[in-house]
Structure 1
Amino acid sequence: MESKPKIQYSKIAVISLAHLLNDLYSNYLPQMLPFLVVLYPGFTATRGAIIVSAFSITSSLTQPLFGYFMDRQGKRWLAYIGTLWMATMLSLTGLVHNYLLLVVLAALAGLGTAVFHPQASTMVNVLSRDRKAVLLSVFVAFGNFGFALSPLLLVPLFQAYGLKATVVTIIPGIIVSFLLFLFSPRDQVLKGAPPTLSAVFKSLKESAKELIAIVSVIAIRSLAYTGLLTILPLYFKYKNLSNIQASYLVTIMLAAGAFGGIIGGFISDYFGRKQLIIGSLVFSTPLFFAFLLTKGILSTIFLALAGSALLASFSVTVVAAQEAIPENKALAAGLTMGFANGLGGLAVIVIGHIGDVFGLTAAVRILFILPIIAGLTGIFMKSRPAARLQRQSQQM
């Protein structure tokens, strides 16, 4: 009897560590903005937004294109070269003294993470065997932790040594790229029969309704998530909380969301993707309003639970898209982790305008309502048997 392929935990651990670093780098440029005010006379918030947007556009909206290419090629080197590329571009940002060149470096850096995410998530998908959702949740959680660590590590570095210290941030990128070179799965493991463009369009057409539902869920959830990261600090300041207190609350929400993603992946493997996505998102809205209506430690607990529920479906939606178009896993990852999240992120400017016109409280309440809308949108997703039931049927 042929033995069943084992889950390769050590390789998944290395890829997850690389994801932590990539998402730490993804939150790199916002930490530079206060220091750029000194470097560039007349530096405005709009100029800062252009720098961050240049990175966001190339890192998010190009991921489906890279995903399609990777489905055809299955080249593992794209993961470690993408990591090294982003580290190199960002390490140069503090050395230049030309604003246009800084924007170009930001855009080029975004290409590195756009390459990394579809390939890395596909690697985890292949290596996870029948535990895809829970292990992809671990992969995603590492990224969320990296995103949260960025201000804690970079701001003190820039404060102590100035923006020229960006050059040393290439070192972690070199180390992690080397680990990916040693431990990432070989090309023949990743590569099946390369899909033609016509086959991809056929696959997308056959799964169009389900993919539209999944992308819509992610875009609405991303708008809520990115909007909260943008508006909550302003709202807390409006409520006379100190910057330190506000940063602690946002960090608590992010950390709880990372743990929630792991728990959500585990639950979805046992009870189904669709059930987890709908239930967690619908449940997060009353938790957010409970945070708004209570005070003290109870309020903080509700915020942590709300953040956990909001991000419980983060990796599950990626797996759901990969199951919808199983022959195009990297494209599915690009559509979900890149394109859909990018759409939600770009819509944050609307929430900001609402805050300016109608007040920050109104903007926060709208953001709290969005998760339940995302959850109800998940009703249009296709129901599939839980991974636990699939394993049982295969063993019979």
Structure 2
Amino acid sequence: MNMEQKASPTMYSVLFAVSLAHLINDALQAVIPASYPILRDSLGLSYTQIGIITFILYFSSSVMQPFVGMYADAKPSPRILPIGMAIALLGMVGIALAPGYALTLLAVALMGLASAMFHPEGARIAYLAAGPRRGLAQSIFQVGGNSGSALAPLMTALIFFPFGQKGAMWFTLIAAVGIALQWRVARWYGEQLARNPRKKPQAAAPQKDTARRVKMAILIIILIAFARSWFGSSISTYFSFYLIEHFHMTVPQAQVYIFLYMGAGIIGTFFGGALSDKIGRKNVILLSVLGAAPFAILLPHAGEIMIYPLLFILGLINHSSFSVTIVYVQELVPGKVGMVSGLITGLSFGLGAIGAVALGGLIDMTSLTQVITACSFMPLLGAIGLLLPSDKVVRSWRNRAEIGG
């Protein structure tokens, strides 16, 4: 199996196609928070009701991902990709036409389910198309999603303000393109499954010590994802309020800073994966979490001008490990690519959502400055990454599993 992997080329056409599908999927999901100001006015929603919409979206999209991945590991399903996008299209119609709150929640749940159906299988396709460059492949895939999520402010300005709630109907055209694109990707995926039918594992179960170390490594990755997501939430959700409060900026001025952070994150996601193919997954993970720490700690004490380079550097470094943690766990548990991809991706979104709610409560109880300052120390939690098994050890475990499987 290893010889076949080495001989397989990196399928860039497939990677760019699934990355574009990821962009469309996450852009459609970003429609929901982008529509909050309009939905609040058209349906007369309270902030609590908006919070419930957010919970439904992230619960359905994040919590479901590992279970979808487990199902796909047992029974790979190429058709799940276009079916998921068709469900997203129905959800978008629901958001545009919902006359009340209950139907809006149902539409949001459909959007979240569609996202949960896409991510594990999308990550698996990136894994299959990677050839020897798994880090780069996962980065190309994840950059599509990051770019789609970053479109939310533009959606609000260009679509919802001019057209109102029914403006969401315009996104059904994007969903239709997504269905056609994912149908083509699914055909390639099906061909790969036909050429390389899955074999039932015949090897003995891994030794207890190895199994224990694998579980510990996954737990460490989850804790790193927790620290990264909560710090990211403090920036993307609340730092604009900090800028407005401390420097008396307007909302558009503050949003420029956040866009800078998110834009740098897209760059960091791409280059982090490529770098991990050269210097190793663990090294990039440590560089990301610990390298971000000094800049994060400086951020609450910086002046208005210095915040620009600090946010750019933080976006670059903090996001550089996003795709790498996924590849690390995929290689740690090679027989369950879908499940672990859904677990890490879902946790990143889910923990970020929980972090946004929890940090908001802490700000209400304390102050914005105190919470932003406390969150600046979150990257230091990444020091537990020093306990991760080396890439060489992970490769030896993977090779043993693949020879047996």
Q: Within 5 Å, which residues of 2 pair with 1:111-190?
A: 111-184=113-186, 185-187=188-190, 189-190=192-193
- Rounded to whole Å, the distance in 2 between the matches of 1:100 and 1:341 is 24
Residues 138 and 262 of structure 1 are in contact (CA less than 8 Å); yes or no, is this contact kept in structure 2? yes
Structure 1 unaligned segments of length 5 or more: list them: 389-396
What's the counterpart of residue 275 of structure 2? Answer: 267
Taking the aligned partners of 2:356 and 2:304, their CA distance within structure 1 comes to 28
* Counterpart selection for 2:102 from 77, 83, 100: 100
* 1:234 is the counterpart of 2:235: no
TM-superposed deviation, 1:40: 2.2
CA shift at 1:357, angstroms? 2.0
Partner residue, 1:214: 221
Q: Equivalent residue for 1:55?
A: 57
Q: 1:22 aligns with which of 6, 14, 25?
A: 25
Q: Which residue of 2 aligns with 1:256?
A: 264
Q: 1:362 to 1:20 in 2, by over 3 A?
A: same
In structure 2, the CA distance between the partners of 1:92 and 1:378, relative to structure 1 (3 Å rule), is same
CA distance in 2: counterparts of 1:386 and 1:305, whole angstroms: 31
How many aligned residue pairs are there? Answer: 385
CA distance in structure 2 between the partners assigned to 1:128 and 1:387 by the alignment: 18
Contact 2:217 2:389 in 1 (8 A): yes
Instruction: Please list the CA deviations of residues 283-331 of structure 1 after superposition, one character each: whole Å capped at 9, or x if unmatched.
Output: 1121123333333443201110011111110000000110111001011
- Per the TM alignment, residue 387 of structure 1 is displaced from its structure 2 partner at its CA by 11
Aligned to 2:363: 355
Q: Which amino acid aligns with 1:104?
A: L
Let me know the Cα RMSD of the aligned residues.
2.6
CA contact (8 A) 1:216 1:340 kept: no
1:225-270 Cα shifts (integer Å, max 9, x gaps) = 1232111122122121111111111010001011011121122111
Letter paired with 1:300: Y
Aligned match for 1:377, one of 380, 384, 405: 384
The normalised TM-score by structure 2 is 0.89
Structure 2 segments unaligned to the other structure (5+ residues) = 396-405
* Paired amino acid for 2:368: L
Query: Residue 13 of structure 2 corresponds to which residue in structure 1?
Result: 10
> Does the 8 Å CA contact 1:71/1:195 hold for their aligned counterparts?
no
CA, structure 1 residues 113+148, in 2 after alignment: closer, same or farther (shift >3 Å)?
A: same
C-alpha distance after superposition, 1:189-237 (max 9, x if no partner): 24623679x989x997672111111111112211211232111122122
> Deviations for 1:89-114, whole angstroms, at most 9, x for unmatched residues?
02321211121111121112101000
Check 1:22–1:205 CA distance in 2 against 1; reply closer, same or farther (3 A cut): farther
* Aligned-partner Cα distance in 2 for 1:193–1:233: 51
Give the aligned residue type for 1:313: S
Q: Which amino acid aligns with 1:38?
A: D
TM-score when normalising by structure 1:
0.90
Distance 1:93 1:230 in 2: 23
* Corresponding position: 1:64 with 2:70: no
User: Are the aligned partners of 2:137 and 2:273 in contact in 1 as well (CA < 8 Å)?
Assistant: yes
- Residue 30 to residue 194, structure 1, CA distance change in 2 (3 Å): farther
State whether structure 2 residue 353 is matched by structure 1 residue 345.
yes
Q: Distance in 1 between matches of 2:357 and 2:304?
A: 30
Confirm or deny: 8 A CA contact 1:12 1:127 kept in the other structure. Answer: yes
Aligned residues of 2:58 and 2:349 also touching (Cα < 8 A): no
- Shift in Å, 1:122: 0.6
Contact kept in structure 2, 1:272 and 1:387, CA below 8 Å: no
CA distance in 2, matches of 1:109, 1:205: 37
- 2:217 maps to a residue whose letter is E
CA gap of 1:84–1:209, structure 2 versus 1, over 3 A, is same
Listed one character per residue, the Cα deviations across residues 153-202 of structure 1 (whole Å, up to 9, x for unaligned) are 34421111221121221111111221221234232524623679x989x9
Residue type at the aligned position of 1:328: K
The answer to whether structure 1 residue 312 and structure 2 residue 315 are counterparts is: no
SS of alignment partner, residue 385 of structure 1:
helix
Q: Percent identity?
A: 26
Q: Structure 1, residues 28-69: CA drift from partner, whole Å, max 9, x if none?
A: 21111111222123x211110101110110100111100001
Structure 1 residues 112 and 280 mapped into 2: Cα distance closer, same or farther (>3 Å)? same
- Distance in structure 2 (CA, Å) of the matches to 1:71 and 1:206: 22
- 1:192 is matched with 198
Q: Measured at CA, do residues 37 and 117 of structure 1 come closer, stay the same or move farther in structure 2, by a change above 3 Å?
A: same
User: What residue in structure 2 maps to residue 391 of structure 1?
Assistant: none
The CA deviation string for residues 1-48 of structure 1, in whole angstroms up to 9 with x for no partner, is 99922211111111000111111122221111111222123x211110
Distance 1:305 1:344 in 2: 20
The one-letter code sitting in structure 2 at the alignment partner of 1:46 is T
CA contact (8 A) 2:229 2:355 kept: no
